[in-house]
Amino acid sequence: MKEYELLSRIYSALDSCLKCYTPRMGKNVGQGICTLMIFVDGLGLGHSDPEVNPVFSGACPVLCELLREAAAIDAVMGVEGLPQSATGQTSLLTGVNAQAQMGRHIEGFPNRELRDIIRRENIFGKMMERGYSSTFANAYYLQAYTSAELRRRRSVTTVATEAAFGKFRSLEDMLAGRAVYQDLTREQLRRRGYEGPLIEPEEAGYHLVEIARAHDFTLFEYFQTDLAAHRGDRQALLSVLEKLDRFLGILLHMFRGSNELFLLTSDHGNLEDFGTRLHTGNPVPFAARGREASRLKAKIHSLKDVVPALLELYPPGHSIA
């Protein structure tokens, strides 16, 4: 009850603020769609038994509600074996069936062939080709890595961001509220030498809404879910889900304008089955709220359908940014 009471007070305070709040948008507001997509790594659709599926433990009521209304989409993509991050995320963010092209599921970071696909076909570049603004909202703490480490640790989103924009959102952007760190609260930056302020998941959500409202399409990646599920520590996973839920609660409360579209999806299953530390072959959610939400959920049946369906909502000439 205390968590719900806290959220209620936060939402009431936000309502008061929002009465005098004007979103920072361009002059064409109302003509186009403003999309915020949350990519939650390792989130499949599984049984509702809380002993098996931590999502139904009571730690994340907002996420539970989203999953109950989400479309179930295929992450296996007709390729034998369990889906993995490199190919799944490539399919999700390019519209290319990367699993089929590679003939297998590839884990971890994308190889050369996948990087080539990502550079050519990523959603950020596709949006810009049509005259729309897009962004990856995650902050990069580049000070913690050498150049060699950065070359080795290029995730799908990193390759896409570098190809489309040639730069990343920095520590300075994060401190100014122009980027959100992947763990939401910045706590994990402490081990990398960061001595700046920590924030609550709700403040991270507020920052992300501000970023999203300045762009036509915004992506945010949250991968603590997949990491915690692989470790097999139930309490750690519940803590991760609780933080994510507080973050999602603020996003859903604030990001609901007439031209706004909220999306949540994943690349493969994992955390929904606590009986294994491996990925699962379960479908993943495609949750959508706001403008054109029903249309999207009806059109998207697998990871490779997401980008083509989104691009149909963005004909040339209606950018909000």
CATH number at residue 157: 3.40.720.10
Examine residue 288 and state whether it is found in any structural domain, yes or no.
yes
Is 3 part of any domain?
Answer: no
Task: Say if 290 falls within a structural domain.
Answer: yes
Spatial CB neighbours of 9, under 8 Å, sequence gap ≥ 6: none
Domain that holds residue 164: 31-311
317 within a domain of the structure (yes/no)? no
pLDDT of residue 142: 67
What mean pLDDT do residues 53-71 have?
96
Q: Is residue 77 part of a domain?
A: yes
Give 275's pLDDT tier (boundaries 50, 70, 90). Answer: confident
Structural domain includes residue 125: yes
How many folded domains does the chain comprise?
Answer: 1
Question: And the tokens for 295?
Answer: 């249309």
3-state secondary structure of 270: coil
Q: What is the mean pLDDT of the chain?
A: 89
What's this model's pTM, rounded to 2 decimal places?
0.89
Which three-class secondary structure state does DSSP give residue 195? coil
Q: For residue 22, tell me if it sits in a domain.
A: no
Confidence band (pLDDT; 50, 70, 90) for 145?
Answer: low
pLDDT tens for 88-124 read 999 999 999 999 999 999 999 999 999 999 999 999 9
Please state, in angstroms and as integers, the Cα–Cα distance from residue 75 to each residue in 6, 102, 259, following that order.
36, 15, 29
231 domain-assigned? yes
**Confidence at 143, pLDDT banded by 50, 70, 90:** low
Phi, psi of 140 (to 5 degrees): -110, 130
pLDDT given at position 153: 74
Least confident of 49-53, 71-75, 250-254: 49-53
State what percent of residues in the chain have pLDDT above 70: 85
Distance CA 80, CA 78 (A): 7
Q: Helices 201-212 & 234-254, crossing angle to 10 degrees? A: 40
| pLDDT tens string 201-222 | 999 999 999 999 999 999 999 9
